Amino acid sequence: MPTVSFRVDGVDHTLDVDVRTTVLDLLRERLGNTAPKKGCDHGQCGSCTVLLDGRRHLTCLALAVSYDGAEVVTAAGLGEGHADGLHPVADAFLRNDAFQCGYCTPGQVCSAVGMLDELREGHPSHVTEDLDAEVDPDDDELRERMSGNLCRCGAYVGILAAVRECVASGGEA
Amino acid sequence: MTTRMLGEKVQRVEDDRLLRGQGRYVDDLAQGALEVAVLRSPHAHARIVEIDVDPVLDVDGVVAVWTYDDLTGPMAEPLPLLIPHPALTHGRTQHALAKDEVNHVGEAIAFVVAEDRYVAEDAVSRIRVTYEPLPAVVGVEAARSAEHLVHEDVPGNVAARLEQATGDADAAIAAAPHRLSLDLEVERSASTPLEGRGTVARWDPDAGRLTVWSSTQTSTGVRAAVATKLGLDLGQVDVITPDVGGGFGVKIVHPWPEEVLVPMAAMALGRPVKFTEDRREHFVSSAHERGQLQHVDVGFDDEGRLLGMSVQLWHDHGAYIPYGLIVPIITSTQALGPYKPEAYKVVFESLYTNTVIVTPYRGAGRPQGVFLMERTMDAIAAYLGRDRAEVRAANFIQPDEFPYDQRMTFQDGRPLVYDSGDYPQLLDKLKALVGWDDFESVRQEARREGRRVGIGLACYVEGTGVGPYEGAHINVETTGKVKVAIGLTSQGQGHRTAFAQIVADELGVPFEDVEVTSGDTRRMGYAVGTFASRAAVMSGSAVALAARQVKAKALRIAADALEAAEEDLEIVDGHVQVRGAPASRLALGTVAVLSNPLRYAFDEASKLATQFTVGNPDKPPVEEDDEPGLEGRDFYSPERSTFAAGMHAVVVETDPDTAEVKILRYAVVHDCGTLVNPMIVEGQIHGGVAQGVGGALYERMAYDESGQLLNASFMDFLMPYVTEVPERIEVDHLETPSPLNPLGIKGAGEAGVIPSAALFASAIEDAEGIPIRRMPISPSELYDLRRKAAENAGSVENAGSVESARSEPVETKESR
């Protein structure tokens, strides 16, 4: 069995894994970090989203052996260094009633954090009309960019409001 | 003064934990437990000739494997038929593991337990089963034709036929000045919560106790089922429902095969065992809903008033019928909505097919009932050339007619009597909210721009808060903390917040001091479950009643301690005080200390209650008819359901070329009686609308003729993402309190999804001028309808032109 190393929410781990082990199963089954959830195991629902080396990533489709040495931040570690240990994006979800059962929420929040970084860096999306201009983060842009995360409770109105608020507040959010 | 909490948008106490990834769902528990994989049938209908499990036992890490032949006692019997009904003459349920025959793709055949899921799945792939395939019955038409049978001993594939009638509908239709007939269809969808089914069990051989954690909508139901199946006393089984990642109906079914197999395996192996359903399994081995064919005959007068209405339903309930006739009964009765036809007759047949079982999914048969009634209303309006809202208003039950007896029997076996409501006012609010009367100018303006828009509306009444009962237990600890236990479970509805609001108000304690536990049979052994929009009505009422008991006792004890009359006392901010004299007040925690006479002091507070400190030496320390502790326990059991209502309107734009449907506006008016937490209610409405958009425009179960589900993944079963749901849902509330419960609450959980199929059909029909009779509708289906309509009109060229749309009211050619 190959040996892999991961830094997860600021803590280093080195362990032997079955080559088939996904990053999601490594986090949940081997390291006991159950913040990312398994909703479909096929990269279609986004519940397993974490920040992997700073980018949002579907961990159910990532084999652990392919990401040896990676740094992972899950919803449980996002708040590190923030007031009350709560990331501003998580705080916006809280204030905008952006979830109900909470199962998709750790993935939604990680996805939103990664998405806001991409926006700041000027990445275009499928619906960006002018690829040369600065991206206008209107609702269509935000919805398109959050369209990898399913919420069966249908809290999308709140999710969009939360993300919109983070964009408006500019900064880290 | 303590701030009133009822009716406030209080932020949910559940949220912080869930946001930080600290939610504890079943699969997050019992790390290191043995894990399960299930061998499922690849055939929709087949006889099992032989099962060879020998190769499995060679796989390293496999602990055990079960097939039907290994099951004994009650485990070898079919799973229970949960809701029997006299009309259900041919009820069939599955075995925990298939016996001799499989009746749908996905039916459980073998149960493998291994060190982890990877190994368990490896092992499952080694099991060799010899099948003798049988013809599959797929879809309502195939079931009705009965060319092949799902169960050999069920003639015609008919499990039940049930007729209800009030008045002579046929005669009324025959005598009516106008008549129409409609053939309608609603396709299958499913709950598909993001967390699938899951169960963990641990057997403690020293204590002789079994603990089961299950992702369920009824922990007491699972407890009874597990005890029965495993031959244990109820007192030996605890069922705990941890965080649940959505239910939407599917998790009210119990016991699932795995829900009894997992505890059985945990007892047999002496180790914790876990089953976590994967996504494909959820599609093929849990439950679906909605699929029905419908035929309506209606007779009406010049104003569109329903003089007689006769409805026939063919309901596809899948391979087995564990949940009885609840869904078609609800369709039959709730089709009536806010209306009062002079005569009404409905008959349904519930039919077996070789597909996944059908059990309630949010709305539970109401979306189909609303579809048939609202399609009828639109057809009448079109026939008469009248405004659609006006035709509905002509049929409304009026506010002074409550309680209104629909003279039918509802899903709980009780008379369908509406308790309260104000339908004309709801309609007025909706029309104002969406600008109904001004829509023609919107349409004309869009037309000038070459755009095609339409508006639709749909009305519904929802029987909520069905019995038999729910209870609550409240205990005030000596710290002043108030511990509340309710028996039903939570799947994201914010129960811990809403019920704490009620207790805070009733008892006069700070909201922060109230802690609510749900779905734990150790804390509340008598409960029914979370379904039928009943939690707020049932548990909310029980919580209020139990809190009133606690308050009465607190006042009695405090009156004694403060040497005041009970009627002069009040509880404010967690303290009992003489009204208007807060200086002499007693903390509720101190009252709790005084309520429990002690021999032993274990802290400073408890010294107050020891035997040399309190009590009248001439009386027993605990008086007759009293109990130690500051506690309350009560149950709420209503005579019948309470009826919520609502009306939705949607404005859509249909693409003239691609036939895509875009939502421009979505408006909701809603009456669920007294609002406990408007933020939670609006969240429930938003969620229902999102599922309704899915059900109307995207979701369906695509079975092929051999019974294979072709779209069993989130890639192919199109649930809405944030891109498909309107960014704003305009909501207005009306509060007509229910007279049936102490707080006037009506249920709200399912409402948002109920009118959607009818609503979108109404709006698309309005935009296109083509009758819509079948939902959901995809762009290609709409395109096809356009083509056919144009062919019928003899002009293919005009199919896509804006001018051809909605020139005249549609003649449906259904009048006799």
Mean pLDDT of B379-397: 98
pLDDT band for position B262 (cuts 50, 70, 90): very high
| Residue recorded with tokens 């190994």 | B119
Amino acid at A56: R
Residue A173 lies inside a defined structural domain of this protein: no
ipTM of the complex as predicted: 0.96
Cβ atoms within 10 Å, residue A55: 10
Is there a single domain that holds both residue A92 and residue A159?
A: yes
Which residue of chain A comes nearest to B17, CA vs CA? A102
Provide the shortest C-alpha distance from residue A43 to chain B (in Å): 9
Tokens of A131: 């690829």
For residue A171, the model assigns a pLDDT of: 53
Among the three residues A78, A103, A123, which one is the final residue of a domain in this structure?
A78
DSSP per position, B533-580:
T-HHHHHHHHHHHHHHHHHHHHHHHHHHHHT--GGGEEEETTEEEETT
Residues A39 and A13 in one domain: yes
Identify the architecture of domain B468-636 in CATH.
2-Layer Sandwich (3.30)
Burial status of residue B639 (CB atoms within 10 A of its CB: 0-12, 13-18, 19 or more)? exposed
Q: How far apart are CA B337 and CA B758, in angstroms?
A: 12
**Min CA distance, A56 vs chain B (Å)?**
16
Q: Which residue of B has its CA nearest to A156?
A: B722
B292-466+639-805 and B468-636: identical CATH topology: yes
Contacts of B750 in chain A (CB under 8 A): none
pLDDT of residue B2: 54
Considering only B376-380, B649-653, B692-696, B796-800, which range has the smallest mean pLDDT?
B796-800
Whether the Cβ atoms of residue B87 and residue B325 lie closer than 8 Å to each other: yes
Q: Does pLDDT of B799 surpass 60?
A: no
The CATH number covering residue A35 comes to: 3.10.20.30
- Cβ-Cβ pairs closer than 8 A, A with B, add up to 178
User: Of the residues A59, A78, A97, which one is the last residue of a structural domain?
Assistant: A78
> What does the pLDDT look like over B91-115, one tens digit per residue?
999 999 999 999 999 999 999 999 9
Complete DSSP assignment for B667-703? EEEEE-BS-S-HHHHHHHHHHHHHHHHHHHHT----B
Q: What is the mean pLDDT of residues A36-47?
A: 97
- The neighbouring-strand residues paired with B633 are B473
Query: Is A70 contained in some domain?
Result: yes
Q: What is the CATH number of the domain that holds A138?
A: 1.10.150.120
Residue B604 has pLDDT above 90, yes or no: no
Predicted confidence at residue B577, as pLDDT, reads: 95
Domain definitions of chain B by residue range:
18-134+191-285, 292-466+639-805, 468-636
Compute the average pLDDT of residues B754-768. 98
pLDDT at B797 over 80: no
Cα B475 to Cα B550: distance, rounded to the nearest angstrom: 8
- B292-466+639-805 architecture in CATH? 2-Layer Sandwich (3.30)
Contact A156 B725 (CB under 8 A): yes
Domain span at residue A30 reads: 3-78
pLDDT at position B278 over 60 = yes
Same domain (yes/no): A70, A9: yes
Looking at residue B372, its amino acid is L
In terms of CA atoms, which chain A residue is nearest residue B493? A100
Are residues A161 and A92 both part of a single domain?
yes
Judge whether A151 lies within some domain: yes
Cα B575 from Cα B590, distance rounded (Å): 9
Tell me, yes or no, whether A62 lies in a domain: yes
Question: Residue B807: its pLDDT value, please?
Answer: 39
| b/e code B215-226 from CB counts within 10 Å (16+ = b) | bbbbbbbbbbbb
Give me the mean pLDDT over the B353-374 stretch: 97
Domain B18-134+191-285: which topology?
A: Aldehyde Oxidoreductase; domain 3 (3.90.1170)
Q: Is the pLDDT of residue B1 over 60?
A: no
Per-residue pLDDT tens over the stretch B194-221:
999 999 999 999 999 999 999 999 999 9
Answer yes or no: do A92 and A164 share one domain.
yes
Instruction: Say what the pLDDT of residue B617 is.
Output: 85
Between chains, do B683 and A100 touch, taking CB under 8 Å as contact? yes
Asked if pLDDT for residue B798 goes beyond 90, the answer is: no
Q: Does residue A113 sit in the same domain as residue A54?
A: no
- Is residue B508 within 8 A of residue B438, CB to CB? The reply is no
Q: Closest Cα to residue A166, out of A88, A51, A56?
A: A88
* Per-residue model confidence as pLDDT tens digits over A71-112: 999 999 999 999 889 999 999 999 999 999 999 999 999 999
Q: How many CA atoms lie within 13 A of B321 on its CB side?
A: 29
Picking from A78, A99, A133, the residue at the C-terminal end of a domain is A78
Q: What is the pLDDT of residues B616-636, one digit of tens each?
A: 888 898 988 899 999 999 999
For chain B, give the mean pLDDT. Answer: 94
Tokens of B217: 């909508």
At residue B808 the predicted structure's pLDDT band, cuts being 50, 70 and 90, is very low
How many whole angstroms separate alpha carbon A82 and alpha carbon A173? 11
Total domains in chain A come to 2
pLDDT of residue B581: 85
pLDDT band at B452 (very low <50, low <70, confident <90, very high): very high
* pLDDT (0 to 100) of residue B613: 78
Q: Is the pLDDT of residue B812 over 80?
A: no
Instruction: Specify the pLDDT at position A128.
Output: 94
Distance CA B513, CA B311 (A): 53
CA-CA-CA-CA torsion sign (B699, B702, B707, B708): negative
- Residue of B274, B493, B722 for testing the chain A interface, max A β-carbons within 10 Å: B722
- Chain A residue with CA closest to B35: the answer is A29
Q: Both tokens of residue B427?
A: 């309609």
